[in-house]
Amino acid sequence: MQAQSEKRPEMTVENRPEVPEMISIRQAAKRGVLPERALRRFVATGQIPTVRSGRTAYINYDLLLEQLQSGVGAIWHQHR
């Protein structure tokens, strides 16, 4: 039995998947989202997911903002 190959549509600017903006903890802190220490604490406890490359942890910036609006922000107010 032969498998039929599915042809993928050609990748163009209009149909490419959106690439998330990944920034370091320090970069996020410089943008004024939260202090660096708080961001590092949230990362260490798993409240903010990251992708690591070597020793640097990268945060999906858009996802971070969504999380802050939907609940992690309440946790931050407890740590002030």
* Size of the chain in residues: 80
Residue whose C-alpha is closest to residue 25's, from 12, 41, 11, 10: 41
Q: What integer pLDDT is reported at residue 68 of this predicted model?
A: 86
Q: What integer pLDDT is reported at residue 4 of this predicted model?
A: 59
| Pairing assessment for the beta strands 51-53 and 22-24 based on DSSP bridges | unpaired
Tens-of-pLDDT digits for all 80 residues of the chain? 455 567 777 767 677 778 889 999 999 999 998 999 999 999 999 888 899 999 999 999 999 998 888 875 555 555 44
Structure tokens at 29: 């802190």
Residue whose C-alpha is closest to residue 34's, from 7, 61, 14: 61
The structure's pTM equals 0.67
